[in-house]
Structure 1
Amino acid sequence: MSGRRGNGESSVYYSEADGKWHGWVTVGVKPNGSPDRRHRMGADETVVRAKVRELERQRDAGKTRKAGRPPTVEQWLTTWMDTACARKVADGTMSPRTLDDYRSKCRLYLFPGIGKHRVDKLAAEHLDALYLRMIKQGLASGTVLKTHRIIARALKVAMQRDIVTRNVATLVEPPQAAEEEIEPFSQAEARALLAEAADRRNGARWSVALALGLRQGEAIGLRWKYLDLDNGVAKIWWQLQRLTWEHGCEDAHACGAKHHRKGCKATCKQHSKLKNGCPKPCPKGCTAHAKTCPERRGGGLVFRVPKGKNKRLAPIPPPLVPLLKAHRKEQLRERLAAGGLWEENDLVFCQPNGRPIDPRQDWEEFKDVLEAAGLRDARVHDNRHTAGTLLIEAGVSPRVVMEILGHSSMRMMQRYTHVASVLANDAAKRMGDALWG
Structure 2
Amino acid sequence: MTTTRRDYGSGSVYQRKSDGLWIGTIEAGWTATGARRRVTVSAKTKAEAKRKLQKKQVEIDSNGTPVVSARATTKSWAEEWLPMAERTMRPSSFVSARAAVNLWIIPTIGHKKFAELTPADIRAVATAQRKAGRSSSTELRTHSVLMTMLKAAMLEGHTVHPRLLAVKAPRKAVTDRDAMTVEQALAILPWAGSLHHGSRFLAALLQGMRQGESLGLTWPSVDLDANTITVEWQAQALPYRIARDRTSGFRIPDGYEVRHLQGALHLVRPKSKAGYRVIPIVPVMRDALLAWREVQADLITDNPHGLVWPNLDGAPTYYKVDDEEWYGLQQAADVQHPAGRLFSIHEARHTTATLLLECGVDPAVIVAIMGHSSILTTRGYQHVRTERAMAALELVADRLQLG
Q: Does the 8 Å CA contact 1:246/1:296 hold for their aligned counterparts?
A: yes
Classify 1:311/1:33 alpha carbon distance in 2 versus 1 (closer, same or farther; 3 Å). closer
Match for residue 146 of structure 1? 141
Q: Deviations over 1:73-107 (max 9, x none)?
A: 12212321212x1221xxxxx31001011112222
Match for residue 367 of structure 1? 327
* Residue 303 (1) aligns with residue 267 (2): yes
Match for residue 393 of structure 1? 358
* Residue 162 (1) aligns with residue 150 (2): no
Match for residue 380 of structure 1? 345
The one-letter code sitting in structure 2 at the alignment partner of 1:73 is T
* Residue 320 (1) aligns with residue 285 (2): yes
* Residue 291 (1) aligns with residue 217 (2): no
- Normalising by structure 1, we get a TM-score of 0.64
The one-letter code sitting in structure 2 at the alignment partner of 1:371 is Q
Structure 1 residue matching 2:275: 3-state secondary structure:
coil
Identity value in percent: 29
- Normalising by structure 2, we get a TM-score of 0.69
RMSD: 2.5
**Alpha-carbon distance between aligned partners in 2 of 1:34 and 1:356, rounded to the nearest angstrom:** 51
The one-letter code sitting in structure 2 at the alignment partner of 1:303 is L
Shift of 1:180: 3.8
Classify 1:147/1:169 alpha carbon distance in 2 versus 1 (closer, same or farther; 3 Å). farther
The one-letter code sitting in structure 1 at the alignment partner of 2:324 is E
Match for residue 77 of structure 2? 76
Structure 1 residue matching 2:180: 3-state secondary structure:
coil
Shift of 1:175: 2.3
Classify 1:320/1:35 alpha carbon distance in 2 versus 1 (closer, same or farther; 3 Å). closer
Work out which of the two has the higher radius of gyration on C-alpha atoms and give 1 or 2: 1
The one-letter code sitting in structure 2 at the alignment partner of 1:79 is E
Classify 1:352/1:96 alpha carbon distance in 2 versus 1 (closer, same or farther; 3 Å). same
Match for residue 261 of structure 1? none
Match for residue 87 of structure 1? 87
- How many pairs align? 302
Shift of 1:165: 4.4
**1:192-211 equivalent positions in 2, closer than 5 A:** 192-211=187-206
Structure 1 residue matching 2:316: 3-state secondary structure:
coil
Match for residue 358 of structure 1? 318
Structure 1 residue matching 2:361: 3-state secondary structure:
coil
The one-letter code sitting in structure 1 at the alignment partner of 2:218 is R
Q: Does the 8 Å CA contact 1:211/1:317 hold for their aligned counterparts?
A: no
Q: Does the 8 Å CA contact 2:136/2:171 hold for their aligned counterparts?
A: yes
Q: Does the 8 Å CA contact 2:237/2:266 hold for their aligned counterparts?
A: yes
Q: Does the 8 Å CA contact 2:207/2:352 hold for their aligned counterparts?
A: yes
Structure 2 residue matching 1:206: 3-state secondary structure:
helix
Shift of 1:134: 3.0
Shift of 1:127: 1.0
**Alpha-carbon distance between aligned partners in 2 of 1:128 and 1:66, rounded to the nearest angstrom:** 29
Q: Does the 8 Å CA contact 2:70/2:159 hold for their aligned counterparts?
A: no
Q: Deviations over 1:182-237 (max 9, x none)?
A: 21111111121111111113211100111111111001111111111222211000
**Alpha-carbon distance between aligned partners in 1 of 2:82 and 2:248, rounded to the nearest angstrom:** 22
**Alpha-carbon distance between aligned partners in 1 of 2:374 and 2:246, rounded to the nearest angstrom:** 41
Match for residue 128 of structure 1? 123
Classify 1:393/1:132 alpha carbon distance in 2 versus 1 (closer, same or farther; 3 Å). same
Shift of 1:122: 1.6
